[in-house]
Amino acid sequence: MFGKQSISIKYGLIFFSTLILISAAILVTVQYLKVGMLRNEAQAVASQVVSFRSWVAKSGMVWVDKLSDDFHDFLAETPDGEGKKFYGKNPALATRELSQIANQSSTHATFRVTSDEYRHPDNKPDEFESKAIEMIKQNKKTQFVENTSEGTYRYAQPIFVTKACLKCHGDPEDAPEAVIKKYGAQKAFGYKEGDVRGIISVKLPDITLKDMLPHFANPYTIVYILLAVIINFIFTTQLIKRLKNLTHKAEVIAHGELDTPLEFNSPKHSNDELDHVYNAVNLLRNSMKVVMKRLQ
């Protein structure tokens, strides 16, 4: 059925089919680009958390001389020699309080550190985080786990146990007294260097097509698309016009009007296939003239 349609209809169908395929390809590319952008942003956040946590771990503990009402938790305390006290915050506690501050002030990216062996109730993993921890523990080569659901992009990156972590997460007998006193000797111990301690979990609002549309619907993009359509239309219109003209001339010649003029460029100076077809029809017409003269 399709083969019997005119070239104009065939071209129209192919042109719109091509537009649909190109649009689909663009949407798929945009989806990959969107996920890549979100992942890069989440990795940047996670990298900063890793750096902060590493700094605290290498220092052993961060000591402050005052506890705010919002962050009154501490691991250990020691006198400052002037009748007051310093309060110590370990890497997990310092990171948790940092995440709370960042998450309260942020309208975009939020993060936290969690583990299946959590010590503080606020660090309990949610469903996505539990699955991410399980996946990473099954395959330690997993660099990240990501998911998009209900308008939110989720990202999880593993935290591996380093030598500095073993002081508080290795053998309970080697742990500081303050750790045992606060958390007991049962939970989050027995790790070895290289084990998965937990994850850094990052949340970002998903980027929808509606958010990205203004970037694509800019004047330059619209002008380029219109130019492409116009150029395509003009070229195809001229091509179809020449084909129809050739068909008409060939029919006239077939009815005996051998002097019908054919306008085309010589094949010696043209690579246009239509010029070659015109030339073939012209040769056929000349042959018919010779035959008619001989018959006369």
pLDDT in tens, 85-141: 899 988 888 998 888 888 887 668 899 999 999 988 888 999 999 999 999 999 989
The per-residue pLDDT for range 53-78, each reduced to its tens digit, is 888 888 778 899 888 888 888 888 88
Residues 120 and 152 in one domain: yes
Whether 4 maps to a domain, the answer reads no
The per-residue pLDDT for range 22-34, each reduced to its tens digit, is 889 988 888 888 8
Domain count, the chain: 2
Residues 126 and 258 in one domain: no
Whether 1 maps to a domain, the answer reads no
Residues 192 and 263 in one domain: no
Confidence of residue 3 (pLDDT cuts 50, 70, 90): low
Angstrom distance (rounded) from CA 84 to CA 77: 10
pLDDT at position 41 is: 93
**Domain membership of residue 116 as a residue range:** 11-213
Residues 125 and 187 in one domain: yes
pLDDT at position 185 is: 86
pLDDT at position 115 is: 93
Angstrom distance (rounded) from CA 211 to CA 218: 13
Last residue of a domain, one of 213, 247, 270: 213
pLDDT at position 39 is: 95
pLDDT at position 104 is: 81
pLDDT at position 274 is: 87
What amino acid is encoded at 261 in this protein?
P
Strand locations in the chain, DSSP E? Answer: 62-64, 76-79, 85-89, 110-114, 145-149, 152-160, 196-205
Average pLDDT over residues 32-52: 92
Instruction: Judge whether residue 38 has pLDDT over 90.
Output: yes
Whether 247 maps to a domain, the answer reads yes
Residues 97 and 144 in one domain: yes
Residues 68 and 157 in one domain: yes
The per-residue pLDDT for range 158-206, each reduced to its tens digit, is 999 988 888 888 888 888 888 888 888 888 999 999 999 999 999 999 9
Half-sphere exposure of 70 (CA within 13 A, CB side): 8
Closest CA to 46 of 162, 194, 203: 203
Residues 174 and 194 in one domain: yes
Question: What is the pTM for the complete model shown?
Answer: 0.73
| Average pLDDT along the chain | 87
Residues 263 and 192 in one domain: no
Residues 226 and 150 in one domain: no
Cβ burial, residue 142 (10 Å; 0-12/13-18/19+): middle
Residues 19 and 52 in one domain: yes
Whether 2 maps to a domain, the answer reads no
Residues 58 and 75 in one domain: yes
Whether 5 maps to a domain, the answer reads no
Residues 256 and 204 in one domain: no
pLDDT at position 132 is: 96
Last residue of a domain, one of 196, 213, 230: 213
